[in-house]
Amino acid sequence: MNPPAETALYTARAPAAIDWAAVAARGRLWRRVRAAAAYAFLVAVSIPIILPYFWLVTVAFSAKRGIAETTVLWRSLAILVPAVLLLWIAGVLSRNWRQMVLAFAGIAVVMIAALVIAVGPELHLRNFIFLIERDFASVVRSRMGEVSGATHFPSVWHAFANSLILAGSQTAIVVTVASLAGYYLSRFQFPGRAATLRALLVLHAFPVMTLIVPLFLMLFYMGLLDTLLGVILVLVAFELPFAIFIMKGFFDGVPWEIEMSALADGASRRQAFVRVVLPLVTNGIIAVSVFTFIRGWEEYIFTFTFLTRSTNWTMSLYMFFVRDDVMGVDYGVVSAVGVFYLVPSLLFYLFAQKYLSQISLGGVKA
Amino acid sequence: MATAKAMVERARGSSARRRQIVNFVIFLGPAILLTVVFFVIPVIVDIVVSFTDMGRSLRVTEFTTSQYERMFGGDPSLAHALSLTFIYVFSTLAIFNVTFGLILALVTTSIGRASGAFFRSVWLLPRMSPSVLYILLWIWVINPSELGLLNQILMTVFGLEKPIDPLSTAPVTLIVIANGFIGASLGMVIFTSAIRGIPEHLFHAARADGAGPLAIVRHITLPALRWPISFVTIYQTLSLLVSFEYILLLTGGGPFNATTVYALFIYRRAFESGQYAYGAALSLLLIIIGVVLALFGWRFFDMRKLLQRPRIEVH
């Protein structure tokens, strides 16, 4: 392990002098120390990320006084951290499956019992009032003894529907247009094809954020400022280059013979595309859909800049203005809105993972 | 007879030609239309507006070069924004997006597959959460009173006496870290798949030759990561240069102008002060930088494979 030991190993070259068992033991120990160091490092750097998210969830389900309470956070951590450590130790020490399952079950039962006793009574759903009470800001304020100055919020379901409409129609348009263009670029020869592909490559990396000022003016002239349609069209255009590349990659992966035989059987290129090739790139279509949908669901800057009326608010704007208005008054409600907004995002990603890993970017090197 | 045959040929030829055009319009038309309307025309509008005096009323009264005179004639807050942008982009890139992303990739690939995947998904969490929510968590964590999570930890665990307020005392550090937490994950994912792509036998051979873990990283892993590292560097430089979403949400560019990077400077000039023409002129510079960097990105694509000719000439 330490330098002298290593030099000893080197000088003792004579075959008989090597104690193989000791070398193996040292190697094992060294490996364990390295693994432990790696885990310690990863745990340490993950705490700053896990802790705030966990806090958000505990505040959403337990805050009563409207301030950012941390009692529940620390209490549940005091139970969860030792429990995870015990589980880990049990996993290392147990000699067979039966022992491990028994140990895990025992620890889990104790942990859940402790959580129910220590945290259970604190939990409640009152912070999710915004789901049923449209004018929740006034309710929250009157609970605090303050009655005036509450912003008039649209119903959260209205914002939810707007987000669904925005992300949904954006996805539908992007998938359709990108499939058509991706197929054409993959399968057809036409003058300017190389130039088109190169231009697409630049557009794919093009920083769309820089166009925000002229786009604002254009939407204003077109009468599309402060309409969902305007934002949808802009976001569609921005997602297109990337989506076309992904679709082209998937079409490139479809063997030519399949299309060839469809054409030999008398189908036209368009029929071959719809009936034969399109069903073979379902995974690509799902990947592009999920990706585009998430982008639309999370979009903030363009919705914030191009939409002003509160009836046009999407979930991101709803979240922003709830934070802006209620924050000083009630952390509990803001956290609840945050959980309500975050959970669909995470579910999309969970669902998407399988498909996103299949994306190959039109032949990226290395 | 011969002429009739020629006519049939010609008719077939022209109908094939027509089908070719119709196919082009059907398949590529929508994409081209959307791209022209939302990429090409905005750039033209931007150039035109930058030569006017458009203000909050969105009306143009005269064509002038005064925006450019102002831009190059020493707008003191512009100079500050430029130097801040350099510091911000460089430190986020150097500390988080490349270095820390690389460390995360190296460490998570050195432990068990499932545990590695778990820690990587933890680091992907900020990227997966909507920006408004991610920044909300930051604002709560760094709350300057005793209620903030950071202050609670600093005061109880590390024995700090007074709560700190990073938002006003160290805003630049704050935006670097907040962006870095998101930026590190892209490098992490790309480097991880590159490390996975290194043939296993190279590691075995190195170990058999007596190489320690650091020597393996230095002589096997890092050389294999040359392309991914330059890709991440260029790509992230571009996105850090132009994106201001997290900064706008976290500090709004303040206190005063302390965190107003160039891209946010444009946004605030245009939408907060209503100087649309000046904003357009400032945007043009960023558009040019963006296109140049995007052209750099070409090097990373396998052009031969991308431009491979299609094999069926039937329309």
Record the tokens describing residue B257, joined without a space.
């102008």
Q: How far apart are CA B105 and CA B84, in angstroms?
A: 29
State residue B314's pLDDT score.
59
State residue B1's pLDDT score.
46
Phi, psi (degrees; rounded to nearest 5) at B58 = 65, 20
Q: What is the CA radius of gyration of chain B?
A: 27
Size of interface A-B (CB pairs under 8 A): 262
- In a mutational test of the B interface, the residue from A46, A73, A163, A213 whose CB has the highest number of chain B CBs within 10 Å is A213
Record the tokens describing residue B171, joined without a space.
């805003």
Record the tokens describing residue B60, joined without a space.
């143009």
Q: Which residues of A touch B270 (CB under 8 A)?
A: 212-213, 216
State residue B103's pLDDT score.
93
Please report where in the chains the tokens 């960023």 appear, as a residue. Answer: B286
Per the CB < 8 A criterion, the answer to whether A104 and A112 are in contact is: no
**CB-count exposure of residue B245 (10 Å: 0-12, 13-18, 19+):** buried
Q: Is there a cis peptide before residue B255, judged by omega within 30 degrees of 0?
A: yes
State residue A14's pLDDT score.
53
Q: Which of A10-24, A327-341, B65-79 has the lowest mean pLDDT?
A: A10-24
B242 touches chain A (CB under 8 A): yes
State residue A139's pLDDT score.
67
Q: Which residues of B touch A177 (CB under 8 A)?
A: 30-31, 34
Please report where in the chains the tokens 């992904």 appear, as a residue. Answer: A246
Q: What share of chain B is helix, strand, coil (3-state, %, to 5)?
A: 75, 0, 25
State residue B234's pLDDT score.
84
**CB-count exposure of residue A341 (10 Å: 0-12, 13-18, 19+):** buried
Q: Does residue B153 register a pLDDT over 50? A: yes
Please report where in the chains the tokens 């719809």 appear, as a residue. Answer: A274
Q: Cα distance from B85 to chain A (closest Cα, Å)?
A: 15
The model's pLDDT over B85-139, given as tens digits with 9 standing for 90+, comes to 999 999 999 999 999 999 999 999 888 888 888 898 889 889 888 999 999 899 8
Q: How far apart are CA B104 and CA B120, in angstroms?
A: 8
The model's pLDDT over A183-228, given as tens digits with 9 standing for 90+, comes to 998 888 888 888 888 888 888 777 788 888 889 989 988 888 888 8
Q: What share of chain A is helix, strand, coil (3-state, %, to 5)?
A: 80, 0, 20
State residue B128's pLDDT score.
85
Mean pLDDT of A262-271: 84
Q: How far apart are CA A247 and CA B299, in angstroms?
A: 21
Q: Does residue A69 register a pLDDT over 80? A: no
Average pLDDT, chain B: 84
**Candidate from B35, B123, B143 with C-beta closest to A68:** B143
- CB contact (8 A) between residue A214 and residue B110: no
Quickly count: other Cβ atoms within 10 Å of residue B60's Cβ. 16
The model's pLDDT over A122-154, given as tens digits with 9 standing for 90+, comes to 777 777 777 777 767 666 666 665 555 556 778
Per the CB < 8 A criterion, the answer to whether B103 and B251 are in contact is: no
Proportion of chain B above pLDDT 90, given as a percent: 19
Mean pLDDT of B186-214: 86
Per the CB < 8 A criterion, the answer to whether A162 and A177 are in contact is: no
Q: Which residues of B touch A305 (CB under 8 A)?
A: 271
**Candidate from B26, B147, B302 with C-beta closest to A180:** B26
Proportion of chain A above pLDDT 70, given as a percent: 86
State residue A362's pLDDT score.
39
Q: Does residue A174 register a pLDDT over 90? A: yes
Mean pLDDT of B272-281: 88
Q: Which of B249-263, B272-286, B289-303 has the lowest mean pLDDT?
A: B289-303
Select the highest-mean-pLDDT range: A257-266, B86-95, B223-232. Answer: B86-95
Which residues 89-128 of B are in CB contact (within 8 Å) with A? 104, 107-108, 110-111, 115, 119, 122-126, 128
Nearest-CA residue of chain B relative to A302?
A: B245
Encoded amino acid at A237, one letter: A
B191 touches chain A (CB under 8 A): no
Q: What is the DSSP string of B55-75?
A: -TT-----B-SHHHHHHHTT-
Predicted ipTM > 0.90: no
